[in-house]
Structures are given as structure tokens and as C-alpha cells.
Amino acid sequence: MSGALRLQGQGNGSQGYAIGPAHVPSEPRSPIEGGASPSLEFDLLRSAIEEAVSALKDLMVRTDPPSSDILEFQVEMLRDPVIGDMAAEYIGEGQNAALAWVTALEEYIAGFELSEDDDIRARAVDVIDIRDRVLRILEGRPPANFPRGAVFAGRDMAPSLFLAHDWSGGGGIALAAGSTASHVALLARAKGVPMVVGLGGPAIEPEAPVLVDGGTGLVVVHPSGADIAMAAMGEKPTPGIPARFELPSADRPAGRLEILVNISDIAEIHSLDSNVCDGIGLLRTEFLLSAAADLANEEKQFQLYVEMLDWAAGKPVTIRLFDLGGDKPLGGFGVEERNPFLGLRGIRLLLAMPAMLRIQVRALLRAAALGPLKVLLPMVTFPGEVDQTRRIFEDEAASLVQRHIDVGVPDIGVMVEVPAAAIMLDTFESSDFFSLGTNDLAQYLTACARDNASVANLYGQANPVLLRLIAQTVRIAHDMDKPIGICGDLAGNPALLPSLIASGIRQISVAPSQLPAVKAVLAQARMEG
């Protein structure tokens, strides 16, 4: 007898297994991490400013007099009580330290940049420099983490913790609760991290060796050699990705099926050749940020978007605005809600906190000058939200142009993931294109939270209702003469592809890990057609 404890849950579909010592978080974690309090955010900002001041003072003693004057000016700016008071006010309104700091400095910077006087205009760069110096300090806050190679054995896991962890040393996830439709499951699938959800009890003891099989959903505590050999036998080799294929001719009245990829992690593009797809159909920007301070970092966001455009080499890159809220809070930001999936999420949160939106809009407008970039709005319910967002794009474009900065005009499209928007699609004339977000559409249609294991069975039965609504939505979009595609996980289910194609879908966007199976099925269909 090995003394092994076998627990059966649901695998997240990642091929393969992991073995490692259990890391049991000391507090049962909720997937929803509350933001830090305003007083903590204010303390963070104050200490970041003090750190910046002392770094500048150190520099002053080591530089020549002209440079020292510039540094002196920067110290004065950092100590300006007006800026401090403004930042405190923004923190009081619910912004995190970084966003409040950048917002407070924004007007100053624009004031310098727009001045007629050359000397004053030249000072803008000094203010930008202190803005970024404080931002960098705020970004340096170490994220919560656990040892490399361990199996995270908690109740649930926040996406931000998954993203902060270094998975290069292996390891897996075994959750008492959770769901395979949650965002953390989606990230784990994309990264190939074995994960099992819905294990219930009993609790796994800390440091116990644990085997997690992401394919079968089996978790074994204290596994025997035979258990490990069994898991290894179940591993399937990953098929290669054929570069291109055409739809079978009978299914091809409106041309070929475009297959794009969903990107949630910059590492995904590093291991994928852009020739195997038709571009990026969904960039989940909220997952590219490593710290809450990145929300305020226009330059960092701009660089990331340019990297995506470079990778896509002329193919379209569809970038979704931050879809925060729900199960994706970013530490120290936003408000805590009782029903976060039904609250300030996606575009609702952005419009409620426009300072954050404006920073991302500027980064997008600048990147759009460099390639075919499209913008996708998450969690839209009514057309007014598109109009409001469009006005912010127009506003920011005008002020960038005034500052002689190149901008592009991106198409703006709607994620169709709230039933009200799907049913009333014909009222969205102001949207340039549509993308069906079936992961959320399923949760709102079935009234089952996508991260709740106890209703996962009902959530999993959503396909027929989704397919009926998709057919209806695609018809409306075609009548409006607007492009429509699918970027939810449903598009990566090869068994459903014929139904999607029959309803008129000609564009799908799937996780890179789903590409081989989707392409294989279509190639097969072609052979038989």
C-alpha cells in the first residue's frame, strides 16, 4: 500500500501532469482580492516619493552644477504640496497610488508641453522623468508568491497570483473550488500548467508530494511510482500546427475561415510563428501587466502593443481595453463588490475611472499609428458606452496631435458577451465590428458564475443556447454589414466548428494551444468534403 490519497476533480484540459510539494496558502484565498485601503495607497505613494527624493539627492552630490539644477527642480516638483494634495484626492476617489500620481502630474506635463516658451517646454521631460521614477518605485512592490515547482493547493487562485508566479520550474494547481471556465483556468491552459478544480475536501497537507493530472482531473497526494507511471502513460504528444488551410468548398460561400489567436501572456507570442494564424483576435491586456502601477504606465503599454504589431507583421492585432473587475481585480485598485461579475467590470469600470482609460487610450492611439490595430471594448451592455468611449478616443487623439505626436485611428468594436448587447445588436451602429465572448455570454445566459464549481455542471450545458444566440447575432451583424467573429473558448472546440460555420461565422480566435486541434479538424473536413 502506498498510502496515497486520491482525489477526483475536473482537469482544465492542459495535457500532462505535475508533481511537487503542496503549497497551501495560509489563509483560504478568495479569488477576489480586495484593493488596498486609501490610507495604505497614500502611504505607498508618500514613501515612493521620499525614495525618489533621496535618490535624486544622492545624484546631486555626484553631478556638475548645471545637472544639479535640473535635479533640484525635480526635487522641488516632488515636494510640491499641490501635486501631493491632488494625488491624495484621487486616491480618496478610489484610484491606486500609481494612477493617482500619474493623473495628478498629467496636467502639469501637458501645461509644460503646450507652452510657447522653449525653455518651459523643455522642462516637460524633467517632469516626465520624475513621474516615471516614482512609477518604477511603485512597480517594484514584490507580488505575493510561492516556491517554484510547487503545487498550489488552495481553495481558489487569483489570476494575478498565477501571473506573478514563475512556472518555468514546473508545478501545478489543485483547487478545492474553482472552475475550468475561470480566467485562471484559461491562463493555465494557455501556459500548459496542469490544473484540477472542484476537489472539495479533504484539505491537502502542506509540503506533501502531490501529483496533478490536468487531463484526467486526478490529484494524488503521496503518489506511488505506479501512479506517476500511469499519469505519464496518459500524456499525448502535442501535434504540430499546419500553416494554412481552406474551408471545404461546400462551406465556403463567403470565403475562407480566418483563424486568429487569443493572447494573454507575452510569452505566448515568443513561442508562436505569426505565419500560422491570421493575426491576434483578442489581446487580454489586463494580463500583460505585472503590477497595478502598470495601469498608469502609458509608455510600457505602448511598447507592449508595438511588440504585438511587430510580431503580427502586418496582420490585424485586436487589443481589448483592460477587462478588470469580476475575477480580475488588480491589487490596490477599484472597489470591492458583493457580486463583482454583475458590477463594475470591463467598460463600466473604465468609464467610472476615466483616468486609467485615458492612459490606455493614448498608448493605443500612438501604437495605431504603426500598424493595423483594432480596439475591443469588454462587457458592453448598451450603445451609449461605445459612444462615450469613442468620445474619449477622439479627445485624446486631438490632444496628442496638438502635442505633435503621431496617432492612428483604430476601428472600435464590441465584445458581445452580455445578453442585452447580443439581443439588441442592431442598435450598435456605432461599433465597427463585433466579437462574441462566449465565456461570459455563457455565464450571463445560464446565471452561473464561470468561477463557481458548484454550478459548473449547469454552465457546461450552455452550448445549445449559445449556438442559437450566435446564429441570431451573426444574422444581425451581416444585415448591418459589419464583421463578426468569436473569441470565446467555444471557438476552440473542434466539435462545434461545423455549427459555427453553418451559422455564418468566418472568423474565430482561439488560444495558441487550441490551434492544432482546430486546424486538424478543418483539414480533415476538407479532405472529406
Question: What is the phi/psi pair of residue 7, to 5°?
Answer: -125, 135
Q: How far is the CB of 445 from ligand PEP (least distance, A)?
A: 12
Would you call 253 exposed, middle or buried from its count of C-beta atoms within 10 A (0-12, 13-18, 19+)? exposed
Query: In this chain, which of 440, 442, 459, 491 binds Mg ion, going by CB under 5 A?
Result: 440
Cβ nearer to ligand PEP, comparing 12 with 438: 438
Q: How far is the CB of 382 from ligand PEP (least distance, A)?
A: 18
Q: Residues near 230 by Cβ (< 8 Å), separated by ≥ 6?
A: none
Out of Mg ion, ligand PEP, none, which partner does residue 281 contact, by CB within 5 to 8 A per kind?
none
Cβ nearer to ligand PEP, comparing 151 with 517: 517
Out of ligand PEP, Mg ion, none, which partner does residue 488 contact, by CB within 5 to 8 A per kind?
ligand PEP
Check: CB of residue 255 under 8 Å from CB of residue 506: yes
Check: CB of residue 442 under 8 Å from CB of residue 459: yes
Q: How far is the CB of 449 from Mg ion (least distance, A)?
A: 13
Query: In this chain, which of 298, 417, 451, 489 binds Mg ion, going by CB under 5 A?
Result: 417
Q: How far is the CB of 417 from Mg ion (least distance, A)?
A: 5
- Name the segment binding ligand PEP (CB under 6 A); options: 96-104, 143-151, 366-374, 431-439: 431-439
* Cα(28)–Cα(204) distance, integer angstroms: 12
Of 401-420, binders to ligand PEP (CB under 6 A) are: 417
Of 436-465, binders to ligand PEP (CB under 6 A) are: 437-440
Question: What does the H/E/C string look like for 227-280?
Answer: HHHHHHHCCCCCCCCCCCCCCCHHHCCCCCCEEEEEECCHHHHHCCCHHHCCCE
Cβ nearer to ligand PEP, comparing 220 with 415: 415
Cβ nearer to ligand PEP, comparing 49 with 185: 185
Is 277 a known active-site residue? no
Out of Mg ion, ligand PEP, none, which partner does residue 366 contact, by CB within 5 to 8 A per kind?
none
Any contact of residue 334 with Mg ion (CB under 5 A)?
no
Q: How far is the CB of 184 from ligand PEP (least distance, A)?
A: 11
Beta-carbon neighbour count of residue 459 at 10 Å?
22
Q: How far is the CB of 345 from Mg ion (least distance, A)?
A: 9
Cβ nearer to ligand PEP, comparing 106 with 417: 417
* Cα(477)–Cα(327) distance, integer angstroms: 30
Helices (H), 341-382: 347-352, 354-368
- Which residues pair with residue 328 across a beta bridge? 325
Q: How far is the CB of 523 from ligand PEP (least distance, A)?
A: 25
Any contact of residue 437 with Mg ion (CB under 5 A)?
yes
The contact mask relative to ligand PEP for 320-339 (x = CB under 6 A, - = no) is ---x----------------
Nearest residue to 10 via CA among 172, 150, 195, 189 = 195
* Cα(446)–Cα(28) distance, integer angstroms: 28
Cβ nearer to ligand PEP, comparing 90 with 444: 444
Cβ nearer to ligand PEP, comparing 175 with 380: 380
Question: What is the phi/psi pair of residue 411, to 5°?
Answer: -65, 145
What interhelical angle do 124-139 and 65-78 show, nearest 10? 60
- Name the segment binding ligand PEP (CB under 6 A); options: 292-300, 349-357, 419-427, 435-443: 435-443
Would you call 221 exposed, middle or buried from its count of C-beta atoms within 10 A (0-12, 13-18, 19+)? buried
Out of 165, 277, 448, 487, which one is annotated catalytic? Answer: 487
DSSP H or E stretch at residue 452:
none
Any contact of residue 258 with ligand PEP (CB under 6 A)?
no
- Name the segment binding Mg ion (CB under 5 A); options: 64-72, 215-223, 336-344, 435-443: 435-443
Q: Which three cell numbers stand for residue 464?
A: 445549445
Cβ nearer to Mg ion, comparing 247 with 456: 456
Out of ligand PEP, Mg ion, none, which partner does residue 83 contact, by CB within 5 to 8 A per kind?
none
Beta-carbon neighbour count of residue 160 at 10 Å?
23
Of 169-198, binders to ligand PEP (CB under 6 A) are: 186
Any contact of residue 284 with ligand PEP (CB under 6 A)?
yes
Q: How far is the CB of 325 from ligand PEP (least distance, A)?
A: 10
Any contact of residue 487 with ligand PEP (CB under 6 A)?
yes
Query: In this chain, which of 178, 194, 217, 488 binds ligand PEP, going by CB under 6 A?
Result: 488
Out of 183, 270, 277, 448, which one is annotated catalytic? Answer: 183
Q: Residues near 182 by Cβ (< 8 Å), separated by ≥ 6?
A: 31, 156, 197, 327, 450, 451
Question: What is the phi/psi pair of residue 418, to 5°?
Answer: -110, 130
Measured in whole angstroms, the distance separating CA 336 from the mean position of its chain's CA atoms is: 19
Task: Please report, for the chain, how many H helices and E strands are present, in that order.
Answer: 20, 16
What value does the CA radius of gyration of the chain take, rounded to a whole number of Å? 25
Any contact of residue 286 with Mg ion (CB under 5 A)?
no
Cβ nearer to ligand PEP, comparing 104 with 288: 288
Cβ nearer to ligand PEP, comparing 279 with 488: 488
Q: How far is the CB of 322 from Mg ion (least distance, A)?
A: 12
Check: CB of residue 520 under 8 Å from CB of residue 270: no
- Name the segment binding ligand PEP (CB under 6 A); options: 107-115, 168-176, 423-431, 433-441: 433-441
Nearest residue to 163 via CA among 267, 80, 75 = 267
Secondary structure E strands in 264-330: 280-284, 317-320
Out of ligand PEP, Mg ion, none, which partner does residue 284 contact, by CB within 5 to 8 A per kind?
ligand PEP
Which residues have a catalytic role annotated? 183, 487
Which positions touch Mg ion (CB under 5 A)? Answer: 417, 437, 440
Which positions touch ligand PEP (CB under 6 A)? Answer: 186, 282, 284, 323, 417, 437-440, 487-488
